């Protein structure tokens, strides 16, 4: 039996990164409590030693979640792809602000040693993201602040909230700015789906010559990080002495058109791209990982192609089971 270490809370344990984090930490010998408003869809809730169904927009629920906990990974968020956060911007800001305020206050009251916050690349200024020449944003580029979405503004506010709790109350905090995390066992259909999972499913269901819809003109560029690399970097950050915001992402930028081509090649299919007038987000953005290399001795290990292959295969198998 693996020796048990500290007691760890993972909020958002019913979601994509959260349930992967539960599995990751448990494999390292930690006692893990998962908390979410729903159970994981693609894995067992029993992967956590304890799983509580709680709405973390409520402070009393957050107190229950953090009771007896040494460290907490706060991975809960009301989020989806660009279409979702553009349409439901008020709900996204309200829910996420409530969650982050309540988790922090409950952690303070229950004397949790350290809290991890998953911020996002959306905090970076819209200025500089208007062209397809992807800017590799460094952490200090967050200011002067001008995020391009309400989702980004809320994440930036919450970063400052976490830092304020650290300065005033001495609560240990770690802040990661995630850049488009993807992999198996995530949402792959519906309004919350993100680009990679959306295209994997569309292409898995398509025949040669079918159409695949792309928001905008497909030239917009992003970087994508496989979930296993995200987990390792997040864990190293949590266990480090570094308490300022830190990028966790890939430095390789690809266009959405290129992304579709790579997945199509993996599937062995030739498809027709059709462009539609819907929100496409920034034209270009990627991560500068210099600080992560320096502070965590970390760099991604899984290539985009390998990560896409694993994700596509999982989504293809899920769809085959439904047919």
Q: Confirm if 17 and 181 have CB atoms less than 8 A apart.
A: yes
DSSP letters of 262-310? HHHHHHT---EEEEE-S----SB-EE--HHHHHHH-----S-HHHHHHH
Q: Quick one: which of 80, 317, 57 has its CA closest to 201?
A: 317
CB atoms within 10 A of CB 90: 9
Whether the Cβ atoms of residue 70 and residue 8 lie closer than 8 Å to each other: yes
Q: Which residues are catalytic?
A: 151
Strands (E), 184-251: 211-215, 221-223, 225-226, 246-248
What is d(CA 101, CA 277) in angstroms, rounded to the nearest whole number?
36
Query: In the Cβ-directed half-sphere of 156, how many Cα atoms lie within 13 Å?
Result: 20
């Amino acid at each position: 039996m693996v020796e048990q270490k500290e007691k760890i809370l993972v909020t958002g344990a019913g979601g994509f990164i959260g349930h992967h984090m539960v599995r990751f930490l448990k494999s390292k010998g930690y006692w893990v409590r998962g908390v979410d408003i729903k159970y994981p869809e693609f894995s067992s809730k029993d992967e956590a030693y304890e799983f509580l169904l709680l709405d973390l927009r409520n402070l009393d629920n957050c107190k229950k979640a953090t009771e007896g906990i040494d460290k907490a990974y706060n991975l809960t968020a009301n989020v989806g792809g660009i279409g979702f956060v553009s349409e439901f911007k008020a709900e996204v800001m309200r829910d996420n602000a409530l969650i982050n305020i309540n988790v922090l206050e409950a952690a303070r009251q229950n004397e949790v040693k350290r809290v991890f916050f998953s911020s996002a690349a959306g905090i970076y200024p819209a200025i500089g993201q208007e062209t397809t020449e992807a800017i590799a944003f460094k952490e200090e580029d967050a200011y002067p602040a001008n995020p391009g979405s309400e989702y980004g503004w809320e994440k930036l506010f919450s970063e400052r909230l976490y830092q304020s709790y650290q300065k005033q109350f001495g609560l240990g905090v770690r802040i990661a700015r995630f850049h488009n995390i993807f992999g198996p066992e995530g949402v792959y259909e519906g309004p919350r789906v993100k680009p990679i999972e959306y295209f994997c499913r569309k292409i898995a269901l398509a025949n040669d010559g079918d159409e695949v819809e792309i928001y905008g003109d497909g030239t917009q560029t992003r970087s994508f990080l496989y979930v296993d690399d995200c987990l390792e970097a997040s864990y190293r950050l949590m266990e480090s002495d570094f308490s300022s915001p830190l990028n966790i992402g890939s430095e390789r930028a690809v266009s959405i058109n290129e992304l579709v081509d790579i997945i199509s090649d993996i599937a062995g299919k030739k498809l027709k791209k059709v462009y539609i007038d819907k929100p496409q987000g920034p034209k270009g953005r990627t991560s500068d990982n210099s600080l992560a290399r320096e502070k965590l001795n970390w760099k991604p290990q899984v290539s985009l192609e390998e990560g896409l292959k694993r994700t596509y295969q999982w989504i293809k198998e899920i769809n085959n089971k439904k047919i």
